[in-house]
A = this chain, B = another copy of it.
Amino acid sequence: MDSLFTPAAVVDLDRMEANLDRMAAYAAQHGIGLRPHTKTHKSPLVASQQIERGAIGLTVATLREAEIMAPLDADILIAHPPVGDAKLKRLVALAATNRITVALDSKEALEGLDAATRTADVHVGVLIEADLGMHRVGVQSPADAVALAMQADRMRNVAYKGLLFYPGHIRQRVEEQDAAIEQLNTDLDAYLVALRDAGLAPDIVSGGSTPAAFASHRIRGMTEMRPGTYVYNDRTTALVDACAWDDCAYSVLATVISTAVPGQAVVDAGSKAIFREELRGTDATGLGALLDRPDVILKGMSEEHGLLDLANTDWRPRVGDRVRIVPNHVCVSVNLHPLIHGVRGNAVEGTWPVVARGWTP
């Protein structure tokens, strides 16, 4: 690792494998399907390790992710509505080789999918996305879900499969999740009852994100979970106790380039290597922290500079020293790097590309 050019994205392979094992074991223990979100790693190499450990399929956000994962012969859920001709064209091409399911919340997206699949003579499954508290996308009532499900159910090349929600708003510490999960159960139940009453009982109820992943068995009726971050984890995940600090597998290796300004050390990794994302769901501050000294935080950054705060530490780095920085949010940090270096201890075991970056083929 000492010879790597910095900044560099580094993954501790022992930790990554333990993270993959832990989630696979949890899902198996509770009989919940694990459909990992590939947006975090964007790598078929990592996805194949998730499939080897029993994942029932993969989740993607973009068509490029789907296309890169397709050769793994995976059952793919596109958790983002493909709207417009350019996307539908790529979607139907995928549906010719892979089992594809799409989540959507509008008549427009559903009708576009219907027309495109009929023209291409392919079949696609559909999940109706419901808003269960995230307030990002998703139908707003059980009645709206029933109407859309019914419309999908009547289509020739589109098969209604069930319900999807994204509980991304459940990001508090694990021991403080009770109320949020009870509310989610109440809301979800209203959807399930309405769909069953309409003769549209869902085969699939898809939920689950990393911060609440290990509470998935408490969400009644959920058949599968879609965590992404868990493969690498990050500072946010650790701060909400959804993983231990030592489960953080990903870091950005950086070199100290200046100690001229008192009270700080500046490294050669900034918002173009780490990403800039404030913490949410915790009182902690900073834009990242050192893997080996989590009390040393990044107090600021610009594009190619990261400012380590030395106010609360006796540690005094020198120009040329190397550090590893755990970002607040790993998915957006990985997406900044062309390559990931897999390490065991201090040895680089292999390097793989973040193949599915971007949107175009």
Q: Which residues of A contact B (CB under 8 A)?
A: 3-8, 39, 61-62, 80-81, 83-87, 105-106, 108-109, 112, 131, 135-140, 144, 168, 255-262, 266, 268, 271-273, 275-278, 300, 302-305, 307, 318-320, 331-332, 335-339, 357-360
Chain B residues near A85 (CB-CB < 8 A): 3
A260 contact from B6, B61, B139, B300, Cβ within 8 A: B139
Chain B residues near A5 (CB-CB < 8 A): 86-87, 359-360
Residue pair B140, A261 in contact (C-beta under 8 Å):
yes
Residue pair A257, B62 in contact (C-beta under 8 Å):
no
A300-B273 Cα distance, complex, nearest whole Å: 22
Residue of B nearest to A271 (CB): B332
The A contact surface, by secondary structure, is loop
Q: Which 8 A-B pairs have the closest CB atoms?
A: A108-B319, A137-B258, A5-B86, A61-B304, A105-B260, A338-B358, A106-B319, A83-B257
A72-B238 Cα distance, complex, nearest whole Å: 47
Chain B residues near A275 (CB-CB < 8 A): 271, 276
A12-B137 Cα distance, complex, nearest whole Å: 31
Chain B residues near A277 (CB-CB < 8 A): 271, 276
Residue pair B39, A303 in contact (C-beta under 8 Å):
yes
Residue of B nearest to A90 (CB): B5
**Beyond A5-B87, A80-B305, A83-B257: 12 further Cβ-contacts under 8 Å?**
A83-B320, A105-B258, A108-B320, A136-B300, A137-B261, A137-B305, A138-B258, A139-B260, A271-B332, A303-B335, A337-B358, A339-B360
A360-B3 Cα distance, complex, nearest whole Å: 13
A318-B86 Cα distance, complex, nearest whole Å: 17
Residue of B nearest to A62 (CB): B304
Residue pair B331, A136 in contact (C-beta under 8 Å):
no
Specify which of A7, A83, A332 lies most central, judged by the most chain B CB atoms within 10 Å of its CB: A83
Residue pair A258, B86 in contact (C-beta under 8 Å):
no
Chain B residues near A331 (CB-CB < 8 A): 303
A168-B305 Cα distance, complex, nearest whole Å: 13
Residue of B nearest to A305 (CB): B136
Expressed in whole angstroms, the minimum distance between the Cβ of A8 and any Cβ of chain B is 8
A138 contact from B8, B86, B260, Cβ within 8 A: B260
Residue pair A109, B62 in contact (C-beta under 8 Å):
no
